[in-house]
Amino acid sequence: MWRGSSSARERGNTMAASVITFLIYICVLALVIYLIIWVLTDVIGLPIPAKVIQILWVIVALVAILWLVQMVLPGVGGLRFPHG
């Protein structure tokens, strides 16, 4: 068997684990934001304009994109996020 194949397989497994971890983090982040909005609007009764909620979700999407860039290209940018 060729020696390089195990190294490539390990990199593939590491990348798959990083992608799964990234998706879990994004799901948790979206759930937390959704719960915060739900508690503020339905439980407490604080009226939040729809535009504010849209802006909040845009910020979440930008954080997700930044997280993805950090996972794929770890040397880019000054922020450090866990990437597996």
Range of the domain at 55: 3-72
In a domain, 79, yes or no: no
In 3D space, the residue among 59, 65, 19 whose CA is nearest the CA of residue 36 turns out to be: 59
> For the chain, how many structural domains are there in total?
1
What is the reported pTM? 0.67
- 58 in any annotated domain: yes
Digit-coded pLDDT (tens) for 62-73: 988 888 888 777
In a domain, 82, yes or no: no
Rounded to whole angstroms, how far apart are CA atoms 23 and 8? 22
The percent of residues in the chain predicted with pLDDT above 90, rounded, is 45
49: tokens are 């304009």
